[in-house]
Structure 1
């Protein structure tokens, strides 16, 4: 099981971002979520999920916002999960707390904790992807978001009022193909990390 604990950065000097982040997590996990994301402290949210693809999507979304330190804990949890994730217990919850504390000190704002080497390997490679995404320009994100919504490069060019060649160049500079290749591999790594006895 995966548990994500995310802590809002500089929450004392800014708006409360927890409600919007909870809505974002619900959109990512969809109706088949293992648990509902909840506020666990003044500026924290937590969610438990079995789906490594959803976990990676949540982590990448929250780190993209730049306002969150994101910790992923991997391990067993007491089942059945309680109705409120705040009442959850088990190794994954302990690991998520350790991970978010490490994430607060990391330049990538992200950490994974679990047993064995697999979580450390996943953390190292996800941090590389986060660093790559942190360097992406506004123009690169525009293309990323349009393609992620299912538009072709031709349709994205029309929407942006630029040539297909310009869209292709933006995609290349933004390393969208590298991310597209990395995400399924990272999902498999997380899945393997969760299956370690």
Structure 2
């Protein structure tokens, strides 16, 4: 079985996924890391955040290659994004050709209060983030909901919205574990 756990940058997704992985027999595969390994060679980029700035054609090619690789694995949690905010607009993180390769059984969308996400982003020196406002963050979370429902219609997989309370990621992890 393959499930997707998603959320916008700074929502605490990686922390929640790590907790779920520790308490289950699922291994975690990061879609963006698989894309980056290819992009680093093909496009000579230095960090994952630069992928969002590649032209759309390049991003699509990277998505397709990662989906093929992940589609061969089983019993995994795929850490990815429902949408990618690019200079050209929102790009689907899981377009049709990706969904077809992955054959997902459930989508989990982790959400948090926009002000908490903004604070987390501002205090994270390891990433190069866009200068989003709370309003931008709220919009991105809403867009992700729309994408999650659309993906479900195409794939027949369930959609779960998981609230990640500040300083209590174990609550979000337990909510996911109950639904796996």
Query: Normalising to structure 1: TM-score of the pair?
Result: 0.30
Give the number of the structure whose alpha-carbon radius of gyration is greater.
1
TM-score, with structure 2 as normaliser:
0.32
Higher relative contact order (CA 8 A, sep 6+): 2
Q: Which structure is higher in strand share?
A: 2
